[in-house]
Chains A and B, each alone.
Chain A
Amino acid sequence: MDRDNDRYRSLTRRTLVLGGLQLGLFGMLGARLYGLQVTDAERYARLAEDNRINIQLIAPARGGIVDRFGRDLADNDQDFRLLMVAEQAGDTSAVLERLSTILPLEDYEVERILSDASSRRSFVPVTVRENLSFEEVAEIEVNAPDLPGLAIDVGQLRRYPHARLTTHVVGYVGAVSESDLTGDPVLALPGFRIGKTGIERQHDLALRGQAGARQVEVNAIGRVIRELSRDEGQPGQDVQLTLDLDLQRFTQERLASEISAAAAVLDVETGEVLALASHPTYDGNLFTSGIDHTNWNRLLNDPHTPLNNKAIAGQYAPGSTFKMSVALAGLETGVIEPDERIYCPGHMELGNHRFHCWRRGGHGSVAMVDALAQSCDVYFYELARRIGIDRIAEFSNRLGLGVTLPLDMPGQRAGLVPTQAWKESIRGEGWLQGETLIAGIGQGYVLSTPLQLAVMTARIANGGRAVEPHLTMRVGGPDMPINNPPAPSLGFSEASLNVVRAGMIAVTSGPGGTARRSQIDEPGFEMAGKTGTSQVRRITAAERAAGITRNQDLPWERRDHALFVGYAPIEAPRYACAVVVEHGGGGSAVAAPIASAILHETQRRAPARPLLQAGDPAPTEDGQGG
């Protein structure tokens, strides 16, 4: 009995110790729970939110690009894609087999789809085929019950309805490359495209818009459970260009009769670029979903460089089209009077060198208007000698030559009008006076782009105002103000400009004018202009002795460039045009007829007419002047 009592006392004592221990351990757990659920509760609540909430971006619809009359140059097409969710499909190979009776699939496609599907989580959609036609979509939808896990998804694909006419201006979009990443998260979206060239690149930010975002709740393996919030974002803004699609078409097609050529048409009052063409061209649509190797190599290796926008990036010796600039410089600096005559015996001696005029027999005694009309080289050798290269450069720069124009498009080249300092710094040699003479007829170091020549012509035609060439009419829709950059006076005297313009009129209308045959024969539409033929090689003394080789007998790449600049109408000039035909031969024979046709067409279409106001009926495809 006592023994049991001992035992019981011991047991009671020890049980209390055990119970106390248990209570202590429970207390410890309670403290731990307090720590987790009270002290650190906020931190853990945040971690739990981070766990479950995922933010997904919604790609904004890219803004459209239209011409000055609102015609689509770039828009978004629906891209129907067929996606497969392996989890819903079940037996994926069987589903694909059934699909191939409707939509034939190549073996390699099936392989890719199955490997894509197996490398991703089963609820992640895998692309089966992109760019489905409406018929294919309809066929698949009809058979949907037999095709579990397959779904049509609508994405966006950039489309250029007039790609071959406008691609040099409009440009194209392409996949985002490493160097394009700026931190904008939308760039990381799969399949997102940004502007790579042309206007697409220039106005990429406006066209791109603001990405939307949706907050979704995901579970532990990332499957979306539900959408918590959705912000559609801002679609991209529309960009309206100054181009007239019809004129652009005419220009581009007119150039297509040549091997390689470029042209620009400007409104001399506003600087609006009405047409900007470069031939050969290419189809920008090839680039939107990634160009294939064959096409890329073909474009890249073409000797006529279709990828190059020659209107702004092609640099050519301006030849005689440069003479207006020299003439204006001569008059403005006072080194010559308009009626001062200079005798042209067919050549000019300077030091030991003899500088030839294009007409071997010479022009006799010519004043400025005739010198321009007949493009007398000796007159301009002498004039250039009097002015000096630095002042020629200064006046040329003011007219837009040899400078980077404030053009709202990437890819422009600056051309060149040399100065003594330039040669000193680049070549490390002193300037030779003979080089001034050569520059005086737009040869030697002088280089300019077709756009620069058009700008020069426009600034002469509009009374010496520094219009800026531009392609952007407005960004953000018809309610936005029209882009109208200021055109301050260049400070030339009206008298000087009148003389130069008289020379240009004589080119197309005067006796012995080099472009008489190309004058527009519709009354009121007559143009003034200047031809240019620029050598791409030196004419050797031997050649000259043997009689100059005819251009047609030379290989294409050694023939002269043919140039023409002009404006119209003669009274109250409104349009300026520059045409360069690479290795085309003579300016009067090849370039002038093209420029004439373009300026004629431009005036018939009159793209500078007052624009339709918002709310007016949209113009039809054939336009008002057609």
Chain B
Amino acid sequence: MTVNLDSSSFGTRIGTEYRLSLVDKLVRLNWLVVLLVCLLAAVGCAMLYSAGDGDWDPWARRQVIRFAGGLVLMLVIALIDIRFWMRMAYAIYLLSFVLLIGVEVMGQVGMGAQRWINLGFMQLQPSEIMKVATVLALARYFHGPGLEEIGRPTRLIIPLALVLAPTGLVLQQPDLGTALMLLMVAGAIFFVAGVRLWKFAIVIAGGLAAIPVGWQILHDYQRERILTFLDPSRDPLGAGYHITQSTIALGSGGVFGRGFGQGTQSHLNFLPERQTDFIFTMLAEEFGLMGSLTVMGLYALLIAAGIIIGLRSYNQFGRLLAIGLATNIFLYVFINIAMVTGRIPVVGVPMPLVSYGGTAMLTVMIAVGLILSVSVHRDQRISRHALERDT
């Protein structure tokens, strides 16, 4: 073990003297987080088994295989040196951005709006990867500047551009949920990094002023979703149907639920998209308040663990990365549950690790992998200007 906690090297340069063996890294790995991920994935798998009417096909089996792959990827990411990720942050962002433009162009050229790239074993949505890539890039950017520098408005132009460029592209698709998540996770990082509150106030005020303009840009079906959200009874058999049926399913679950595989709303197809966006509803129908609160608790633990890992990191990049990614997971969970309980419009955000779907699971597992990497390399001090000099 060559852990060097000598404070003389603190913050001066990339600590090349600070090296961990694989065994050290495995020991330092936050196994609680790994356990939480596995538990949530197990819940997801059980729900997909139920969603398939008590069958491993068509969803549960494939989800397990993906999870196994994702788990390996997560652990590999966790074990790679945090400084590698910091070095690669902009490159990953750039690659994701190019992919995003790529599907945008393909979608325009080809027939219909294709949002994914077929990797054979799964379909990759660049907009999902973009969520992690944006956090990486922002964490990388805010690693350097101190509070005074952040105070200078000009220093905020580049990070704003880093956020708004993909947000605009994603809105074009149009994917309201992802765009909102990008904005909110960026906001969280800006906030934690130390951007003054009055600047947020200005941006929010500007955003509110832009609503009339934004309303014009929105597609009809997005407007419809918002209007239906505001008053679901407008269209009980149309767009409001999903929300109505989802609340009925949730409510009919009661405290203890209707039993595994016994949810009538889910199994008789009253509940739409029960294997993806509305899987939490199905869980709440079949396991009741006990089940829904337990799953929320697992997520809360996972998110809290991510934030604590961030706080315990000795480098700003790691702190911002872990907190940003934990916030990202929070946003997934919050938006999804708020959506299925009828608190916000149906925006199409899956329940991470539980919902069926490759990209969302992969994205979240990459995020958790990065959080774990922050955790493993928490004692790594990184010079504020180290990379500027290096590169």
Determine the distance from Cα of A221 to Cα of B241 in the docked complex, in whole angstroms.
Answer: 13
B239 to chain A, nearest CB (A): 15
B190 to chain A, nearest CB (A): 10
The reply to whether B253 and A41 contact each other, CB–CB distance below 8 Å, is yes
User: Chain A 23-59, CB within 8 Å of chain B: the 1/0 string?
Assistant: 1011011101110111011011101110110000000
> Which of B255, B300, B384 interacts with A23 by CB under 8 Å?
B300
B188 lies within 8 A of chain A by Cβ? yes
Determine the distance from Cα of A8 to Cα of B10 in the docked complex, in whole angstroms.
Answer: 14
The reply to whether B191 and A48 contact each other, CB–CB distance below 8 Å, is no
* Residues from chain B with Cβ under 8 Å of A10 in the complex: 147, 194
Determine the distance from Cα of A41 to Cα of B248 in the docked complex, in whole angstroms.
Answer: 9
Determine the distance from Cα of A49 to Cα of B334 in the docked complex, in whole angstroms.
Answer: 29
Say yes or no: A32-B341 contact (C-beta < 8 A), given A7-B316, A12-B311, A15-B192: yes
A542 lies within 8 A of chain B by Cβ? no
* Residues from chain B with Cβ under 8 Å of A14 in the complex: 191-192, 194
Query: How many B residues, CB 8 Å from partner?
Result: 49
Looking at chain A's contact residues, the main secondary structure is helix
A532 to chain B, nearest CB (A): 71
The reply to whether A4 and B248 contact each other, CB–CB distance below 8 Å, is no
> Which residues of B, 222-258, contact A by the 8 Å Cβ criterion?
245, 247-255
* Residues from chain B with Cβ under 8 Å of A7 in the complex: 146-147, 194, 316
Determine the distance from Cα of A506 to Cα of B41 in the docked complex, in whole angstroms.
Answer: 109
Say yes or no: A217-B251 contact (C-beta < 8 A), given A22-B330, A33-B289, A34-B289: no
B292 lies within 8 A of chain A by Cβ? yes
B284 lies within 8 A of chain A by Cβ? yes
Say yes or no: A37-B296 contact (C-beta < 8 A), given A18-B327, A29-B337: no
B343 lies within 8 A of chain A by Cβ? yes
The reply to whether B254 and A37 contact each other, CB–CB distance below 8 Å, is yes
The reply to whether A36 and B341 contact each other, CB–CB distance below 8 Å, is yes
Say yes or no: A36-B191 contact (C-beta < 8 A), given A22-B330, A220-B268: no
The reply to whether A6 and B270 contact each other, CB–CB distance below 8 Å, is no
Determine the distance from Cα of A235 to Cα of B203 in the docked complex, in whole angstroms.
Answer: 76
* Residues from chain B with Cβ under 8 Å of A218 in the complex: 268
A3 lies within 8 A of chain B by Cβ? yes
A546 lies within 8 A of chain B by Cβ? no
Chain B: CB-nearest residue to A40: B251
B307 lies within 8 A of chain A by Cβ? yes
B380 to chain A, nearest CB (A): 14
* Residues from chain A with Cβ under 8 Å of B284 in the complex: 33, 37
* Residues from chain B with Cβ under 8 Å of A22 in the complex: 303, 327, 330, 334
B134 to chain A, nearest CB (A): 17
> Which of B191, B293, B323 interacts with A30 by CB under 8 Å?
B293
The reply to whether A19 and B251 contact each other, CB–CB distance below 8 Å, is no
Determine the distance from Cα of A86 to Cα of B219 in the docked complex, in whole angstroms.
Answer: 37
Determine the distance from Cα of A34 to Cα of B284 in the docked complex, in whole angstroms.
Answer: 11
The reply to whether A52 and B289 contact each other, CB–CB distance below 8 Å, is no
A452 to chain B, nearest CB (A): 62
The reply to whether A11 and B268 contact each other, CB–CB distance below 8 Å, is no
B264 lies within 8 A of chain A by Cβ? yes
A486 to chain B, nearest CB (A): 60
Determine the distance from Cα of A225 to Cα of B191 in the docked complex, in whole angstroms.
Answer: 53
Say yes or no: A1-B10 contact (C-beta < 8 A), given A11-B192, A44-B252, A219-B270: yes
* Residues from chain A with Cβ under 8 Å of B191 in the complex: 14, 17-18
* Residues from chain B with Cβ under 8 Å of A52 in the complex: 264-265, 268, 270
The reply to whether A11 and B319 contact each other, CB–CB distance below 8 Å, is yes
> Which of B255, B292, B304, B316 interacts with A19 by CB under 8 Å?
B304
The reply to whether B330 and A33 contact each other, CB–CB distance below 8 Å, is no
A100 to chain B, nearest CB (A): 36
B193 lies within 8 A of chain A by Cβ? yes
The reply to whether B334 and A29 contact each other, CB–CB distance below 8 Å, is yes
The reply to whether B188 and A41 contact each other, CB–CB distance below 8 Å, is no
The reply to whether A43 and B251 contact each other, CB–CB distance below 8 Å, is yes
The reply to whether B334 and A25 contact each other, CB–CB distance below 8 Å, is yes
* Residues from chain A with Cβ under 8 Å of B330 in the complex: 22, 25
The reply to whether B265 and A4 contact each other, CB–CB distance below 8 Å, is no
The reply to whether B254 and A33 contact each other, CB–CB distance below 8 Å, is no
* Residues from chain B with Cβ under 8 Å of A225 in the complex: 268
B378 to chain A, nearest CB (A): 13
* Residues from chain A with Cβ under 8 Å of B126 in the complex: none
User: Chain B 276-320, CB within 8 Å of chain A: the 1/0 string?
Assistant: 000000001000110011001000100110010011000010011
User: Chain B 11-32, CB within 8 Å of chain A: the 1/0 string?
Assistant: 1000000000000000000000
The reply to whether B300 and A217 contact each other, CB–CB distance below 8 Å, is no
Chain A: CB-nearest residue to B320: A11
B338 lies within 8 A of chain A by Cβ? yes
Interface-centre pick from A10, A29, A30, A41 (highest chain B CB count, 10 A):
A29
The reply to whether B251 and A18 contact each other, CB–CB distance below 8 Å, is no
Determine the distance from Cα of A324 to Cα of B193 in the docked complex, in whole angstroms.
Answer: 121
Determine the distance from Cα of A22 to Cα of B255 in the docked complex, in whole angstroms.
Answer: 24
Chain A: CB-nearest residue to B303: A22
B269 lies within 8 A of chain A by Cβ? yes
> Which of B268, B293, B304 interacts with A33 by CB under 8 Å?
B293
> Which of B269, B300, B304, B320 interacts with A220 by CB under 8 Å?
B269
The reply to whether A15 and B310 contact each other, CB–CB distance below 8 Å, is yes
Say yes or no: A45-B146 contact (C-beta < 8 A), given A26-B334, A220-B269: no
Chain A: CB-nearest residue to B292: A33
Chain A: CB-nearest residue to B270: A220
The reply to whether B248 and A29 contact each other, CB–CB distance below 8 Å, is no
B349 to chain A, nearest CB (A): 14
The reply to whether A38 and B248 contact each other, CB–CB distance below 8 Å, is no
The reply to whether B269 and A36 contact each other, CB–CB distance below 8 Å, is no
Determine the distance from Cα of A8 to Cα of B319 in the docked complex, in whole angstroms.
Answer: 9
* Residues from chain A with Cβ under 8 Å of B245 in the complex: 51, 220
The reply to whether B194 and A11 contact each other, CB–CB distance below 8 Å, is yes
* Residues from chain B with Cβ under 8 Å of A221 in the complex: 269
Chain A: CB-nearest residue to B307: A19
* Residues from chain B with Cβ under 8 Å of A25 in the complex: 330, 334
Determine the distance from Cα of A14 to Cα of B142 in the docked complex, in whole angstroms.
Answer: 15
The reply to whether A15 and B307 contact each other, CB–CB distance below 8 Å, is yes
Determine the distance from Cα of A43 to Cα of B284 in the docked complex, in whole angstroms.
Answer: 16
The reply to whether A29 and B194 contact each other, CB–CB distance below 8 Å, is no
The reply to whether B253 and A37 contact each other, CB–CB distance below 8 Å, is yes
The reply to whether A26 and B250 contact each other, CB–CB distance below 8 Å, is no
User: Chain A 206-229, CB within 8 Å of chain B: the 1/0 string?
Assistant: 000000000001111100010000
Q: Which residues on A are within 8 Å of B, measured CB to CB?
A: 1, 3-4, 6-8, 10-12, 14-15, 17-19, 22-23, 25-26, 28-30, 32-34, 36-38, 40-41, 43-45, 47-49, 51-52, 217-221, 225
Please list the 10 inter-chain residue pairs (A to B) with the smallest Cβ-Cβ separation, ordered nearest first: A44-B251, A48-B252, A219-B268, A41-B254, A220-B269, A37-B289, A3-B146, A45-B252, A36-B251, A220-B270
Query: Can you list 12 residue pairs at the A/B interface with Cβ under 8 Å?
Result: A6-B147, A11-B194, A11-B311, A19-B304, A25-B334, A36-B251, A37-B253, A44-B247, A48-B251, A48-B270, A49-B264, A52-B268
Q: Which residues on B are within 8 Å of A, measured CB to CB?
A: 10-11, 146-148, 188, 191-194, 245, 247-255, 264-265, 268-270, 284, 288-289, 292-293, 296, 300, 303-304, 307, 310-311, 316, 319-320, 323, 327, 330, 334, 337-338, 341, 343, 384
Known: A4-B384, A11-B320. 13 other contacts (CB 8 A): A1-B10, A3-B148, A8-B319, A11-B311, A15-B192, A18-B192, A37-B284, A38-B255, A51-B248, A52-B264, A217-B268, A220-B269, A220-B270
